[in-house]
Amino acid sequence: MNTTTNLSKNTPVGTWTITEAKTIDRSPYSGTVQIHKMGELYSMSWLTTLGDYPGIAFFENGNLYASCSSNEAYGISLYQINSDGTLDGKWAAANSTGIVDTEKAVGGTPNQVAGTYNVQGTMGKHDRYKGVLQVTPLGEIYQISWLVGTEYKGVGLQVNDRLIVAWGQGNVFGLCYQMQGDRANGNWGVRDHSTVGTETLYRIC
């Protein structure tokens, strides 16, 4: 019995090799990716010819939505895009140890992701925040910024009715993989660059 294949339908956990990948300027790279369960999230670790990066991810309906950075101060947000101009989101910081908070964005344009939203969200069991979310298209990605007392910046990728956002300091990468058994096909983006990179993974254990 192939245990890895049976598990692959329900979880991305495992060790994956990067079988084919290109950066945003179409340069090839290779490496491995480790994925582990961490509370409501998944922790990820890329060891590549371009460098080593830690990451965190959500896994929903066969899609792995991830954020990674060479800087420790980063996080991930995942929004359900609604037709009425609102976004239902959940988010986590890299140091959250798997704890997930929520965010609601309202005031956008119906049937359009780009725009300015008013947001309210949770931060732990007792803290709340509110502010403004700006979503600006740039080629194949979205430039994202929040003003919630402090300004946060990120990069967004739209995947059907989901918006995955990686945010933080320095270069932060947003990724989405479509999982198909022991194979995963992914796209990734970085803020201020209009094109996306590609990454194909194969699970080896």
pLDDT at 4: 47
Amino acid 172 reads: V
pLDDT at 72: 83
Helix (H, G, I), strand (E, B) or coil at 147: strand
C-alpha 151/C-alpha 26 separation (Å) is: 31
Over its length of 205 residues, how does the chain's per-residue pLDDT go in tens digits?
Answer: 344 444 446 899 999 999 999 999 999 999 999 999 999 999 999 999 999 999 999 999 999 999 999 888 999 999 999 999 999 999 999 998 889 999 999 999 999 999 999 999 999 888 999 999 999 999 999 999 999 999 999 999 999 999 999 999 888 999 999 999 999 999 999 999 999 999 999 999 9
C-alpha 1/C-alpha 4 separation (Å) is: 9
Q: What are phi and psi of 179, to 5 degrees?
A: -90, 125
* Bridge partners (DSSP) listed for residue 82: none
- CB crowding 162-200: b at 16 or more within 10 Å, else e: bbbbbbbeebbbbbbbebeebebebbbbbbebeebbebb
Q: With 0-12 CB in 10 A as exposed, 13-18 as middle and 19+ as buried, what is 10? A: exposed
Q: With 0-12 CB in 10 A as exposed, 13-18 as middle and 19+ as buried, what is 75? A: buried
Amino acid 67 reads: S
C-alpha 105/C-alpha 182 separation (Å) is: 35
Helices (H), the chain: 3-8
